C-alpha cells in the first residue's frame, strides 16, 4: 500500500490545491470535511480531476482528524494505492429508518466474496438506525471485520452528507470491501467512561427509545442522576451516556442520549437498547477518555501487526467525546499516533456513531462515545 495525505485548513479553498496530486494513480480517496466544505462549488469534481483513477468516498463531520490533531471546517484527504489487493465499492439509498437492517444485509450480500478481509462503511448520520444497519451487515458476514461511522454535522443534528464519486448525497450508505490474501483490516475500540450508580434493568424499550428502568419512568430517574445538568438536557446528555452491560458485568457498548420526551418520560438514544438489558450511568473526564483512545490503539498492537508495514488508521470518535475534551481533544489523537508509529497515517472524523468490530475482529456493532480505529494495511 502507498498513501499520501493532504490537509486544507478552514481558510484554504479546495480549488487552491495544485492541479497535480501527490498520488495521481490512487485507487481510493477518503475525504472528511464539514458540511460547509462539502457544499463548496464543484467539490467532488475537483477531487476527481486530481485523482482520475480513484473512487472517492467520504462524509461530513463534527471535526476532522489528521496527523497533527483535530480541526474544524477543514478538509482531510487520504489517497491510497492498494498494490496487492482488490477493492469493491457500493452505495445505496436509505429507503427509511425502518429498513436499515435490510439495507445492511443487501450491502453485505453485494460485498461478500473470496478473500474478503473487511468492510469500511460510511452512512448518513440522521436517517438510519445505525444498530440495525450493522446487525444487517453482520447477519450476512458474521465473522468479517466491519468498521466505519455515521456522518456528523458539527453537533447540529440537522443534515449530513456523503461523497460518492463526484456527487454529494444525503440519505445514503457507502461501503468498500477489501479483498486479497495480503490485505489486512483490524480494529480497536474503547471508551474510557466509568460507571456510577447501581445497575438498572431496562423494563420497557422499543428500539432506541427507553421508557422505563426498573419499572420506573426513565426520564425522571435520569434527571435525578445527573443533578444540576438536568436543566441543560438534552445537550448535557452527551456527558452522561449509558453503558449496556455484559453478563460478566463489563461494558459491552455505550449509548449516547439524543433527545428526551417529557410527555411519556422517555429517553431516545443513538443506538438500540434492548428491553431486558442491564445498563449503568457513565461519566468521564479528559484523562480517562485519552486513556480509552490509547487502549483502543493497544488492542491493535496486541494483534501482532508489523510496525514496519505502511498502514492507515481511520479514527472515528464521537462528537460527545469532543465536547467533553474541548480544546484538549487532539490529545486522544496523539495517544493513538504515539502507539501506532510513524509509518501509520492518521485520518478520521468525529461522528454521530462509530462502527467497529473491536477486540475480537468478529462481532461488529454500533458504538457511541467511543474511540474506534480501523487499521488498514497490506502485508
Q: What is the pLDDT of residue 258?
A: 85
With beta carbons less than 8 A apart as the criterion, state whether 109 and 98 touch. Answer: no
Q: What is the pLDDT of residues 232-269, one digit of tens each?
A: 998 888 889 999 998 888 888 999 888 999 999 999 99
Exposure on the CB side of residue 242, measured as CA atoms within 13 A: 30
Q: What is the pLDDT of residue 307?
A: 80
Confirm if 150 and 351 have CB atoms less than 8 A apart: yes
Q: Tell me if 146 sits within 8 A of 377, measured CB to CB.
A: no
Q: For 113-146, how does the pLDDT look when each residue is reduced to its tens digit (9 = 90+)?
A: 999 999 999 999 999 999 999 999 999 999 999 9
Q: What is the mean pLDDT of each run of 10 residues along the chain (379 residues)?
A: 96 89 96 97 95 97 96 97 97 96 98 96 94 96 95 90 97 98 94 91 96 97 93 88 90 90 94 95 91 94 88 94 91 95 95 85 87 95
Buried b (16+ CB within 10 A) or exposed e, 1-31: bebbbbbbeeeeebeebeeebbbeebbbbbb
- pLDDT value of position 6: 96
- 15 phi/psi in degrees, rounded to 5: -75, 0
- Please, is 274 exposed, middle or buried when counting C-beta atoms within 10 Å of its C-beta (0-12, 13-18, 19+)? exposed
Cell numbers placing 176: 468498500
pLDDT digits (tens, 9 = 90+) for 295-307: 999 999 999 888 8
Give helix then strand counts, H and E, for the chain: 8, 26
Identify the helix (H) or strand (E) that includes residue 317. strand 311-318
C-alpha–C-alpha distance, residues 285 and 282, integer Å? 11
Domain ranges of the chain: 2-190+287-378, 194-283
225-249 burial: b if 16+ Cβ within 10 Å, else e: ebeeebeebeeebbbbbbbbbeeee
Rounded to whole angstroms, how far apart are CA atoms 376 and 20? Answer: 25
Chain CA centroid to CA 243, Å: 18
pLDDT at 358: 65
**Cell 460507571, located at residue:** 195
Is beta strand 251-255 parallel, antiparallel or unpaired with respect to 344-351?
unpaired
Task: Give the span between the Cα atoms of 276 and 266, in whole angstroms.
Answer: 16
Amino acid at each position: 500500500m502507498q498513501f499520501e495525505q493532504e490537509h486544507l485548513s478552514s481558510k484554504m479553498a479546495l480549488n487552491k490545491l495544485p492541479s497535480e496530486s501527490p498520488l495521481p494513480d490512487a485507487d481510493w480517496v477518503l475525504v472528511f470535511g464539514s458540511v460547509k466544505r462539502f457544499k463548496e462549488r464543484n467539490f467532488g469534481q475537483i477531487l476527481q480531476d486530481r485523482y482520475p483513477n480513484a473512487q472517492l468516498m467520504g462524509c461530513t463531520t463534527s471535526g476532522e482528524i489528521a496527523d497533527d490533531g483535530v480541526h474544524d471546517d477543514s478538509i482531510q484527504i487520504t489517497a491510497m494505492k492498494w498494490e496487492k489487493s482488490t477493492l469493491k465499492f457500493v452505495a445505496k439509498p436509505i429507503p427509511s429508518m425502518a429498513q436499515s437492517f435490510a439495507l445492511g444485509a443487501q450491502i453485505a450480500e453485494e460485498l461478500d466474496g473470496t478473500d474478503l478481509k473487511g468492510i469500511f462503511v460510511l452512512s448518513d448520520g440522521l436517517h438510519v438506525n445505525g444498530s440495525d444497519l450493522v446487525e444487517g451487515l453482520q447477519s450476512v458476514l458474521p465473522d468479517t471485520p466491519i468498521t466505519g461511522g455515521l456522518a456528523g454535522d458539527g453537533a447540529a443534528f440537522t443534515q449530513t452528507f456523503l461523497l460518492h464519486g463526484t456527487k454529494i448525497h444525503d440519505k445514503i450508505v457507502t461501503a468498500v470491501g477489501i479483498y486479497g490474501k495480503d490485505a489486512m483490516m483490524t480494529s480497536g475500540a474503547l471508551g474510557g467512561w466509568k460507571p456510577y450508580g447501581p445497575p438498572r434493568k431496562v423494563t420497557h424499550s422499543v428500539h432506541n427509545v427507553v421508557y422505563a428502568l426498573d419499572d420506573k419512568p426513565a426520564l425522571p430517574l435520569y434527571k435525578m442522576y445527573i443533578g444540576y445538568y438536568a436543566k441543560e438536557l438534552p445537550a448535557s446528555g452527551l456527558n452522561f451516556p449509558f453503558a449496556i452491560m455484559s453478563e460478566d458485568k463489563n461494558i459491552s457498548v455505550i449509548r449516547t442520549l439524543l433527545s428526551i420526551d417529557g410527555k411519556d418520560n422517555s429517553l431516545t438514544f443513538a443506538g438500540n437498547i434492548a428491553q431486558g438489558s442491564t445498563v449503568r450511568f457513565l461519566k468521564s473526564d479528559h484523562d480517562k477518555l485519552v486513556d480509552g483512545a490509547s487502549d483502543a490503539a493497544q488492542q491493535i498492537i496486541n494483534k501482532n501487526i508489523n510496525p514496519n508495514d505502511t498502514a492507515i488508521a481511520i479514527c472515528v470518535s464521537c462528537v460527545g467525546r469532543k465536547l467533553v475534551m474541548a480544546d484538549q481533544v487532539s490529545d486522544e489523537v496523539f495517544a493513538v499516533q504515539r502507539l501506532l508509529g510513524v509509518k501509520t497515517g492518521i485520518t478520521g472524523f468525529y461522528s454521530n456513531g462509530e462502527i467497529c468490530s473491536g477486540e475480537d475482529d468478529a462481532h461488529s456493532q454500533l458504538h457511541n462515545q467511543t474511540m474506534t480505529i480501523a487499521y488498514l494495511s497490506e502485508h
